[in-house]
Amino acid sequence: MKRFLSLLLLFSLVSASAATPLRPNRSADRWARKTLRQMTLQEKVGQMILVWAHMEFTNPASPQYQHLLAEMRTYHIGSFGLTIPAVYGHLVKSQPLEAAALTNQLQRDSKLPLLFAADFERGLSMRLDGATAFPSAMAFGAAGDPDLARQFGKISAIESRAIGVQWNWFPVADINSNPANPIINTRSFGADPASVSRMVTAYIEGAHSGGMLVTAKHFPGHGDTDTDSHLALARVNVSRDQLNAVELVPFRAAIAAGVDSVMIGHLTVPALEPDPDRPASISHRITTDLLQHELGFRGLVVTDALDMGALMQAFRGTTAQVSAAEAVAAVKAGNDMVMIPADLPGAYNGLLQAVESGEISRQRIDQSVLKILRLKASLGLNRNRFVSLDQVTQVVAQPQNLALAQLVSERAITLVRDNGHQLPLNLSTPTVAIVLTDDAHHTEGGEEFLHALRERAPSIQSFLVDSGNVETLSPSVLSAITAAERVIVLAESFPSAGRTVAGKATGSAGLDPQSMQLLSMILQQAASRTVVVGFGNPYIGSNFPQVSTYLCTFSNTPGSASAAVRALLGESPITGHLPVALPGLASRGAGIQRAKLHRTDAAQP
């Protein structure tokens, strides 16, 4: 408790100059209205479209930057979503200073102040190296303390504003009630509407205090699905009563907390929209009638990315024609901003032509653009749109913030089962440690787990097994565990957009079939002496009812890896509780509590 209080005190000392809390006022409103009157129709349409920009070092004279500049000026783009490039399907992180330099350069070249958004669901560390690395949302649910989520929001806001990002596409307000959900999973705070609502509210409060716009997603709730909407159209097949009692509860809480925007998901909800070919994102019944009229949301309504398979499959034609149809349908449904069209000229020209033909009224366009301009003014972008590069190094990754992120990771650790009373482990006995990952490349978290074990027991035998080498390494792994007195398996899996397994187009957040088979063989041979750590996706354990000892981290960050090692060895207490039910293993709220060992060397060789 003393450590936690000291972290709270240190946190309160974070420089307030890094960001200004949002303060809508008459001056901001006057600027927004005056600016709107001076804009052309083309400029207004451009304000309603958001496109990607890569956070990487880019010389202003380079072809890459000139392409961005041409998009911005030709189509009058008013907002960018910042991401990072992918190499062979894997994201390559950049640095905070590179991101800040890019936002400044684009702001310098834009006629109107730009709004920069990002998917910082775990803070800046989602996309940038060197920033404070928080665990996934479900780890906060397991820790069970809304104040941690509040501080998470504030730190993320201050760091984001320091690099010129003013808008985060978070919190995830989905209730992850379906264990087979391949894309929400640990991105959700949990499965209990009341608990998720508390976390969502706390995060919004914290982010607002740090001057950040936030987004509740994916309305009206993506948790009770078994399909990744990046790949195919997801379906929420529940009654209206259940929607009211479960899915909509956190969104109501977010609206009450003053959430700035709501992102509409690409999913069908028969109880709300009977047309099976009309996803929520283009449904007037859901986007306008339910969200804005019934729930009373008056903020910015935005689509999920238009280039996602779930929506694109709802239209026919060329990519440009589909993008045009999507954008027009989304605005007619009640969205204020269309995000990431697959074809920017198609979406822009489609909206322009819809207004010129009278299909969409100019008043409807003005209504949305005024919202966007007001948000920009509430951030102070009409007065100063730039950030100080010197401030980046002072604000990002402050030691007390890194300590808080690690504290969350440790408090999230949940012991689901320990039938053989194996914990805390003693590494002086012959031990084999195996990292099983669903990725084709080793992750930082898995490597950190083995590194932390080797620091304590250099003689430990270890294996890094991924989908590319599982067939080759399986015989060696099975041979090694024969002679081991203890076996530790870190089973790593996490939700990843567009990921398929065994050719299934619905997505997956589980281990690949060969890794599942290897873990099954390990447990068949040595279940009573094997500890399994669900590293990320906690539902992995439900596939192995024979598991004797099962520990969950709810995240696969390096911080969660080191927290898992400390928990396994008794170096830190185990205090987490399941924020979701694990079929066949444990109910929501379960969690075996373990105190920290009094002798710090008790688990050492």
Q: Compute the distance between CA of residue 472 and CA of residue 479 in angstroms, rounded to an integer.
A: 13
Q: Partners of 268 in the beta sheet?
A: 235
Residue 199 near residue 141 (C-beta atoms within 8 A): yes
Residue 131 near residue 123 (C-beta atoms within 8 A): yes
Angle 238-244-246 (CA atoms, 0-180°, nearest 5)?
Answer: 70
Q: Compute the distance between CA of residue 500 and CA of residue 505 in angstroms, rounded to an integer.
A: 6
C-alpha count within 13 angstroms, C-beta hemisphere, residue 81: 22
**Among 59, 69, 180, CA closest to 114:** 69
Annotation says 208 is catalytic: no
Q: Partners of 504 in the beta sheet?
A: none
Residue 259 near residue 215 (C-beta atoms within 8 A): yes
Residue 504 near residue 475 (C-beta atoms within 8 A): no
Q: Compute the distance between CA of residue 37 and CA of residue 45 in angstroms, rounded to an integer.
A: 14
Q: Compute the distance between CA of residue 142 and CA of residue 591 in angstroms, rounded to an integer.
A: 9
Task: Give the helix ranges, DSSP H, for 130-269.
Answer: 137-143, 146-162, 193-209, 240-242, 249-256
Q: Are strands 549-552 and 414-418 parallel, antiparallel or unpaired?
A: antiparallel
Residue from 224, 304, 438, 512 carrying the catalytic annotation: 304
Annotation says 129 is catalytic: no
Q: Compute the distance between CA of residue 509 and CA of residue 178 in angstroms, rounded to an integer.
A: 12
Residue from 208, 230, 266, 577 carrying the catalytic annotation: 230
Question: Which residue type does 66 have?
Answer: Q
What's the helix, strand, coil split of the chain in %, to 5? 45, 15, 40
| Token code pair at residue 539 | 């539902």
Q: Which segments within 86-241 are labelled E, that is strand?
A: 86-87, 90-91, 115-118, 167-168, 213-219, 234-235
Question: Which residue type does 251 have?
Answer: F
Known catalytic residues are 230, 304
